[in-house]
Amino acid sequence: MMSLGPVRELDFDKFKFGKSDSRYDPIDEEFIDDFVEFLLENGDSHSNLYNSIEALKCFFKFLKMVGLIKSNPTAYYPNPYYKLRKVDRAFSKEDASKLLSASKKVDPFFGQFYLLMLLFLTCGLRAQEVCLMKKSQVNLEFQTIEITRGQKTSASVVSVVDKLKEAFEQYFEHPEWLRWSKGQDKEVFFYNNKPLNRSRLVSMLQLIYDEAGIDRQVRVHDLRHTMAQLLLLNGANEFSIQEQLRHERIETTMHYLNYNMNYRTYLESHSDTLL
């Protein structure tokens, strides 16, 4: 609006015309009330009402910031129509241990299920990153994984803990892996002599959930949330967690960490032990 400009001068402080006194006035709280009442009469859900009011708040905040209005009519405007539910999708520390134990039972010979679960719980990779990951991305000498395939952002590196390093070493020496790779740089995870896809990945994880007695619906991304919470429980600061999650903005990381305040309570009550 500011760079292109309207056809005629747009004055938000003289936005509505009052027929009774024949003058122009700015949009005020009464005007917003009329709009909300219109939405209610139109049958809008509480969710739509909430989103509409929040959009207005952002819009008028912008107008005030760039000096197009003298006062913001929505600065203190209430929004009681809908409350966003914040659902904690992370597994607890106890459930994470159950998942690791279950992964060993489901696949005791090869250990692919265990490596898969340990990778999710300690590196917080996304589903596509795991499916497309090749052996050359795993550097066990420096205990890092270079994320160059399937990622949302630019290439980056995550750290590998000692247990994961040991699991990788055993996995890459296993006859099943040697038969699959044939000495080539192949995808780390596979099934039926084909690289692992998302559908098969979800099926494999479901076998682990069933063995662990997890009866709720689980998304693959829940394991990424779990890794963030586990790092927090082990005393990692938000910026270290941001680095492992590879978030560009710390606000995104805080979104992962602030869902379950019980973790904060746990940290406070066990701070001496953790330190």
Confidence of residue 263 (pLDDT cuts 50, 70, 90): very low
| Placement of tokens 């710390």 in the chain | 250
Q: Which of 40-49, 163-172, 199-208, 249-258 has the lowest mean pLDDT?
A: 249-258
Domain boundaries, the chain: 1-84, 93-274
Residue 183 — left, alpha, or beta (φ > 0 → left; ψ -120 to 50 → alpha)? Answer: left
- Write the CA distances from 241 to 29, 120, 174, 188, 222, integer angstroms: 42, 14, 32, 25, 15
**DSSP one-letter code for 216:** S
* Strand ranges, E, within the chain: 16-18, 23-25, 138-139, 144-147, 156-159, 190-191, 194-195
pLDDT of residue 113: 97
Residue 153 pLDDT > 90: no
The superfamily CATH assigns to domain 93-274 is Intergrase catalytic core (1.10.443.10)
pLDDT of residue 260: 47
Planar angle of CA 113, 119, 125, nearest 5 degrees: 120
pTM (whole model) above 0.85: no
- Residue 193, classed as helix, strand or coil, is coil
Residue-wise pLDDT for 175-200, tens only, equals 999 999 999 999 999 999 999 998 89
Residue-wise pLDDT for 87-99, tens only, equals 677 898 899 999 9
67-76, 103-112, 224-233 — most confident range: 103-112
Confidence of residue 271 (pLDDT cuts 50, 70, 90): very low
Neighbours of 139 (CB within 10 A): 12
pLDDT of residue 23: 76
**DSSP one-letter code for 7:** S
Mean pLDDT along residues 82-110: 84
Residue-wise pLDDT for 110-147, tens only, equals 999 999 999 999 999 999 999 999 999 999 999 999 99
Say if residue 152 is exposed, middle or buried (CB neighbours under 10 Å; 0-12, 13-18, 19+).
Answer: exposed
Residue 173 pLDDT > 60: yes
Mean pLDDT along residues 56-74: 88
